[in-house]
Structure 1
Amino acid sequence: MTGRSRRRPQDPPAAAGLLRIIGGRWRGRKLRFTGAEGLRPTPDRVRETLFNWLAADIREARCLDLFSGSGALGIEALSRGAAHCDFVDNNPASIAQIRRHLQDLAAETLGSCHLAGAGDFLARADNPWDIVFIDPPFGRALVAPACEVLEARGLLAASACVYIETGAGDVVPEPPGSWHLHRDKTAGAVSYRLYRNRTGAAQHLHEDQ
């Protein structure tokens, strides 16, 4: 994702401009990315824990990687068997890099890249997702608006999972009432949690169209 720069001792591959896929069909593959202000891929240790949590849900899932940056979360999901992932970022260089990653992996048909802000993209979306990754720049109060739109427009499938990553010191907004906290953990400067949607799929989707 793009955002404020925060160096993490547990994540040397990111500092070196390398993204390592840690599981699935592309396990061990390393993808180079060009550094950008605030580029902060989710550390290997955090990704490994997250995808252990998602092991029963990832196969054939339709995913959304908001604030995608390097594409670490969405590409890891595809490697582990997700059916499709939408990558969304407002940085043209980040979106171009993700497209190149997908080409290098011969996975162009598995991912769609969208150059847009999260709010604008969600306002136009018309299909629910099974798994949503929300990993915005720390300290900018971007989590709550994304969650509100996902809930209000019915963009989550039944029993969908929503992953939220924030700075360990950031205030985490109260999630929508239909979301149940499934798992949460803190690792160094990162706080991360996984919610599960307890409502039916897309009941509000067309109400505002």
Structure 2
Amino acid sequence: MSRVRIVGGEWRSRLIDVAKVPGLRPTPDRVRETLFNWLGQDLDGLTCLDLFGGSGILGFEAASRGASAVTIVEHDPRAFAALRQAAITLNSARVEVIRGDAVRFAQNASEQFDVLFLDPPYKQGWLARLEPWLERVLKPDGWLYAESEAPLAGLGAWRTTKQGRAGQVHFHLLERRQE
């Protein structure tokens, strides 16, 4: 197990355990600080979905900053167990951890979210597989955050409005294109 630190909000400086899973790479502190500067530090009342939970740090960071509900989806059993334990340790009723497949979750989603975090394993085509389901899980005025191995101009109806790079990671904030 390794650990990652929550950088802001109610749980600032708290550490959460991260399962040792091949390919799992928690979003670096500096990138998260940039992301939450873009979104605004206070996420009060917003609902968030992290479809590739991994370390869960994006979802826990959102909950720490006041999101009313955060759903974290993770397929790997070791990562899922660590996420569930982190939610228990933080004693947060606002965080729901679900073991499942990201695409299947999006296909069957019964609600839409204000913020969608996508940080999938690289070079496996996950963003393209999710693209047809984005409108099902994300509100029309919602924010889409995506990390990838290459720059993104857009994803479905969402266009990149802000972007950055940290090492091999390209990170993007996307808004729905106005018709």
Give the TM-score band, short-chain normalised. Answer: over 0.9
Cα deviation, 1:64-97, whole Å, max 9, x if unaligned, reads 0011111010000000010111111110111111
Q: TM (normalized to structure 1)?
A: 0.80
Other-structure match for 1:207 = none
Partner of residue 43 from structure 1, selected from 28, 46, 50 = 28
Percent sequence identity is 38
For 2:17 and 2:128, the matched residues in 1 are separated by 31
For 1:57 and 1:133, the matched residues in 2 are separated by 16
For 1:173 and 1:93, the matched residues in 2 are separated by 33
Other-structure match for 1:88 = 73
Other-structure match for 1:136 = 120
Give every structure 1 segment of 4 or more consecutive aligned residues whose post-TM-superposition deviation is greater than 4 Å. none
Other-structure match for 1:61 = 46
Q: Higher strand fraction: Structure 1 or Structure 2?
A: 2
Sort the Cα spacing of 1:173 and 1:49 in 2 relative to 1 into closer, same or farther, 3 A: closer
**Secondary structure class of the residue paired with 1:192:** strand
Other-structure match for 2:105 = 121
Q: TM (normalized to structure 2)?
A: 0.92
Gaps of 5+ in 1: 1-15, 200-209
The structure with the largest alpha-carbon Rg is 1
Gaps of 5+ in 2: none
Cα deviation, 1:109-143, whole Å, max 9, x if unaligned, reads 21111111111111111100000000001111111
- The size of the alignment, in residue pairs, is 179
Determine if the alignment matches structure 1 residue 165 to structure 2 residue 144. Answer: no
Letter in 2 for 1:46: V
Deviation of the 1:173 alpha carbon: 7.1
RMSD: 1.9
Partner of residue 195 from structure 1, selected from 154, 170, 174 = 174
Deviation of the 1:192 alpha carbon: 0.6
Q: Is the 8 A contact 2:74 2:102 kept in 1?
A: yes
Sort the Cα spacing of 1:173 and 1:197 in 2 relative to 1 into closer, same or farther, 3 A: closer
Determine if the alignment matches structure 1 residue 21 to structure 2 residue 1. Answer: no
Sort the Cα spacing of 1:174 and 1:49 in 2 relative to 1 into closer, same or farther, 3 A: closer
Letter in 2 for 1:124: N
For 1:43 and 1:160, the matched residues in 2 are separated by 23
Other-structure match for 1:111 = 95
For 2:109 and 2:102, the matched residues in 1 are separated by 10
For 2:110 and 2:46, the matched residues in 1 are separated by 16
